[in-house]
Structure 1
Amino acid sequence: MTDLPRPRRWPLWLVLGVVAMVLSCAAPLIVILTLRDHGSGAAASASPVAVESPEPGDPEQVTQLWLRERIAEVLTQQAGALLRGDERGFLAVAEPKSAAVASLRRQFRSLRALKVTTWQVRITDIPERAGSRWRVVVTYEHCFVDPGCLTGPVSIETTWADRGGVPRMVALSPSASAQDGPRPWEASDLVVAVGKRAVVATTAKQKGRLAEVLREAERAAEVADRYAVDGTPPRHYQIYYAGEAEWRRWYGGDRPEWTAGYAVPVGGGHFDVVLNGKDLHSSVLDDLLRHEMTHAASLPGGGYRTGDNWWLVEGVADLAAAGGRPVSRYESLDDVKRLVSGGWNGPLSAAEPGERAMDWQVSAAYGVGYLAVRHLVDRFGEQAMLAFFKAVVHERESPDEASTEIFGEPWQSLQDDCVSYVRSAAS
């Protein structure tokens, strides 16, 4: 690994926004299939509307509706096989020797390693003809580890061949929306370590760090839990440790160059934390995990578009990352000093760095957020600061409303005080 030139080697970027699922308004029929693992085997239920087999001369929509029922049936069987741990049954949905076989085998083994407990299949579109084949998007609502958790969706385009009235999957495309995919379990063969509060997954090439990351994640969970302002910390934290190739691919890749980790909302109130293994030194792994896992604990379940409040979201996460160290030992303090010496004088709402920001500018921006939040804690206490965070980030109050309500001071004067503190701490 190559050291970066500054002591803070993990500038961070948080993926924001809600995973969206687009449903087809044209489809007159919805098939919903549900499977859950209740610990004593899988229970299955299906509620498709019966559709007669197509006859010669029928409109193509009759074939489409009929084929959707048949696809739903085989996916019901596949879901049951997944929860039973039956790899052969899971692969039976695929056309032998087709591209789908390898993809499904990888999915099965990775999903089982991740302790999949819920696998719900939803088809909202009707299959569309693609030459002699058919394509349809299938949405999978799923959970890991916790059988009773709220599910998160992922939508995957599948391609099918009709083999005498029995559809067989011949290909599937990874989920490809900006945040949705491909998910690590779609794109990679994963090795997984499961702890009491964290699940850590990576590839065989990175397996040597798996135990270390899990150990630090278990410790970080104790800190991150304190920042669950809605009172419900995650039941477990899902963490993916990415090698260089995986970092470029998982969740679409395409992060700013200075990114070392991010937390992405995946539905059901869950976040996946992804760490960039490149240049990630053991000496900063604990800080990085506390930061990103605090995002997972503190943010609304659908994520949050920070904008003017970027300093607050990242400042709280960096407060957790600092692990109680005094301000004088904050790793980005020299970069904040550089920013202040260049004339920075606020406002906090403009602190967010751009994608092309230099490393020291990114580090300084995080430092501004940390120091401002730290000052609020020093003046009003951590609980009051978290109440302010909840009001602004979860309840979407303006800082002006929240400041008057919680701190008893107008935000403009309090922000000026925070800016003065940042400048003083960096002097």
Structure 2
Amino acid sequence: MTDGDEQAPGPAGSSREQPARPPAADEPAAPSGAASRPRRRWPLWTALALVLALVACGVPGVLLLGLVGDAAGRPAAGRKDDAATAAARRLGARMTAQLDRQATALLGGDPAGFLAVAEPAARPALTRRYTALRALRVTVWRPEADDVPTAVDGRPGEWRLTVTVGYCFVVPDCTPSTVAMGTRWRLVGAEPRLVAVEESRVTSAGARPWEVSNLAVAVGKRTLVATTPALRAKLPGLLAQADAAAQVADRYAVTGTPPDRYLVFYAGQAEWQRWYGGGRPKWTAGYAVDVGGGHYDVVLNARSVTPSGVDELLRHELTHAASLPDGGYSDRSNWWLVEGLAEYAGADGQPMNRYEGLAEVRKLVRGGWDGRLDSLTPADDAADDRVGGAYGVGYLAVRHLVDRYGEQRMLDFFRTVVHEHRSLDDAADQVFGDPWPALHDDCVDYLRAVAG
């Protein structure tokens, strides 16, 4: 399934979910696209409060002048920053300088330096975050302020600064993923001190595992697998299975460049409800979520994954990570194509008659399905057999197109539709040289023949 996680509005993700019986099924796609956070107005009372605080702390050169410009601290057209906004910018610069020092400490393996910018009450949560990021082998950590500081309602003397961090794990020269988070500060003399780092719940992808959990991590040739310390014993087997699945998923990088590293998070019950916002359909066993920079994190539900289904589930989800564009996709009418390709990769060349979802396909095709591929997306509360049937129909439709035109042309068709946002009609004409309505009917005839 392609999960709009929360990134739509925000980067969309893709998730494959596994019903209790049929191995792995995905959750339906939600609209994709990076969420644009509206700029906050920086009201006059906030400006005055900031000025007064800076005066009290001995910051020179601050005058009580009217605020000009918008919330981002931008001056009005043709005008320079007024004194209050300029003071806010200077305060924000000192905060980001603290964050830069913290980033240097993180990348250099200096826990004392990482904590040095923070107040004592903030240090336990920051220690957990530092330890998790180091375990994930963080190689890039670039904080940038999105705005000027604003006063925190109900917390006199505290200021909030929204920060976007670009980060990479394992690979030093990757295109960074991004996360936006709120930071809270208190002035100690003239020095801003970090009071708290808020979870990234305001962003579409929700809280990353390294923000909220202790992690045990194993790193392989193509994958990184992380879970909670309680499930650490699962890591060696999962890592071997993930590396094997990555070799399959790499073949479905439709742009020609597979991910530099696949990240897989194995979630216990509590983590499944919290990581990336939780709230997945009840039939979900795994999903892939867009975290920016063309990267997708894969999450598996430890309670739903069966030993016999984990290899197929990993191939499915890692294929989402390899095949989907940055930002995911938003057209639910193409759900069959996105999930069908992932199911095709999950099957990994096994004969069609060994596909485990055939019984569910027969039930769906014989029972009320309207014969339209664009109507397959299962509801969040759909029964397991309805979910399994929908995934199976997508798989068989993609497999039929591969049998007719070959795998490369099928991937070209996928790229044209999902990455280039061309219509199925245009893509079929361009890639296959045949009209889509006739191909659609041909796929449906094949499905009905398989269903008997």
Common fold: TM-score over 0.5: yes
| In the alignment, structure 1 residue 118 sits paired with structure 2 residue 140 | yes
* Aligned equivalents of 1:297, 1:209: Cα separation in 2: 24
Matching of residues 213-232 of structure 1 within 5 Å: 213-232=238-257
Aligned-partner SS, 1:336: helix
Shift in Å at residue 281 of structure 1? 1.4
Distance 2:382 2:161 in 1: 41
2:402 corresponding residue in structure 1: 377
- Determine the C-alpha separation between the residues in 2 that align with 1:360 and 1:25: 46
Aligned 8 A contact 1:242 1:274 in 2 = yes
Equivalence for 1:259 = 284
User: Match of 1:262, as an amino acid?
Assistant: Y
Shift of residue 21, structure 1, vs aligned partner: 5.3
SS of residue matched to 1:189: coil
* Matching residue of 1:32: none
Q: For the residues of structure 1 that align with 2:392 and 2:131, how far apart are their CA atoms?
A: 42
Partner of 2:25: 11
> Would you say 1:349 and 2:374 are equivalent positions?
yes
Match of 1:135 among 160, 169, 189: 160
What is the alpha-carbon distance in structure 1 between the residues aligned to residue 364 and residue 421 of structure 2? 30
Equivalent in the alignment of 1:76: 100
Counterpart amino acid of residue 233 in structure 1: P
Q: Deviations over 1:193-246 (max 9, x none)?
A: 000100011111111111111110100011001100100001110111111100
Mapped to 2, the partners of 1:26 and 1:117 lie a distance apart of 35
Residue number among 237, 246, 261 corresponding to 1:212 in the alignment = 237
CA contact (8 A) 1:13 1:260 kept: no
Q: Deviations over 1:128-182 (max 9, x none)?
A: 1122211111111111111111112111111111000111111221001363221
> For the Cα contact (< 8 Å) 2:140–2:169, is it kept in 1?
yes
What does residue range 148-167 of structure 1 map to in structure 2 within 5 Å?
A: 148-167=173-192
Partner residue, 1:101: 123
Give me the CA root mean square deviation.
Answer: 1.8
Of 76, 82, 91, which aligns to 2:115?
Answer: 91
Tell me, yes or no, if the aligned pair for 2:184 and 2:194 is still in contact at 8 Å.
yes
Deviations 1:18-42 (A, max 9, x none): 3435373768xxxxxxxxxxxxxxx
Normalising by structure 2, we get a TM-score of 0.85
List alignment gaps of at least 5 residues for structure 2.
1-17, 43-57, 66-83
> Equivalents in 1 of 2:330, 2:443: separation in Å?
22
* SS in structure 2 at match of 1:238: strand
Identify if the C-alpha distance between structure 1 residues 229 and 255 changes in structure 2 by more than 3 Å, giving closer, same or farther: same
Match of 2:341 among 305, 312, 316: 316
Task: Confirm or deny: 8 A CA contact 1:18 1:267 kept in the other structure.
Answer: no
Q: Map Cα deviations across residues 265-309 of structure 1 (whole Å, 9 max, x no partner).
A: 111111111111113112110000000000000111221124111
SS of alignment partner, residue 118 of structure 1: strand
Per the alignment, do residues 343 and 416 of structure 1 end up closer, same or farther by CA in structure 2, a change over 3 Å counting?
same
Is 2:217 the counterpart of 1:192? yes
- Cα distance, 1:190 vs. partner? 0.7
Aligned partners of 1:15 and 1:263 also within 8 Å: no
| 1:84-141 CA-partner distances (Å, limit 9, x unpaired) | 0001100111101x1x212211111111111111111100211111222111111111
Q: In 2, distance between residues paired with 1:345 and 1:212? A: 42
Name the aligned partner's letter for residue 119 of structure 1.
W
The corresponding residue for 1:288 is 313
Deviation at residue 10 of structure 1 after TM alignment: 2.3
- Describe the SS at the equivalent of 1:218: helix
Residue 24 (structure 1) aligned with residue 39 (structure 2): yes
Distance 1:14 1:114 in 2: 29
Which has the larger displacement, 66-75 or 17-26?
17-26
How many aligned residue pairs are there? Answer: 398
* Cα distance between partner residues in 1 of 2:60 and 2:363: 73
What is the percentage of aligned positions where both structures have the same residue? 51
Kept in 2: contact 1:54–1:66 (CA 8 A): no
Deviates more, 1:6-15 or 1:355-364: 6-15
- The separation in 1 between residues aligned to 2:314 and 2:19, in whole angstroms, is 21
Equivalent pair of 1:262/1:274 in contact (CA under 8 Å): yes
- Is the contact between residue 78 and residue 91 of structure 1 (CA under 8 Å) also seen in structure 2? yes
1:405 CA drift (Å): 1.7
Does structure 1 residue 400 correspond to structure 2 residue 400?
Answer: no
Name the CA distance, whole Å, in 2 between partners of 1:184 and 1:69.
29
Q: 2:444 aligns with which of 412, 415, 419?
A: 419
Compute the displacement of 1:342 (Å): 1.1
Contact 2:138 2:168 survives alignment (8 Å) = yes
| Counterpart Cα distance in 1 of 2:29 and 2:376 | 17
Give CA deviations for 1:27-67 in whole Å, capped at 9, x if unaligned. Answer: 8xxxxxxxxxxxxxxxxxxxxxxxx9345654543442222
Amino acid at match of 1:361: R
C-alpha displacement of 1:6: 5.8
**8 Å CA contact retained: 1:198, 1:214:** yes
Deviation at 1:15, TM superposition (A): 5.8
SS in 1 for 2:280: coil
Q: In structure 2, how many angstroms separate the alpha carbons of the residues matched to 1:253 and 1:271?
A: 16
Distance in 2, Cα, partners of 1:226 & 1:291 = 12
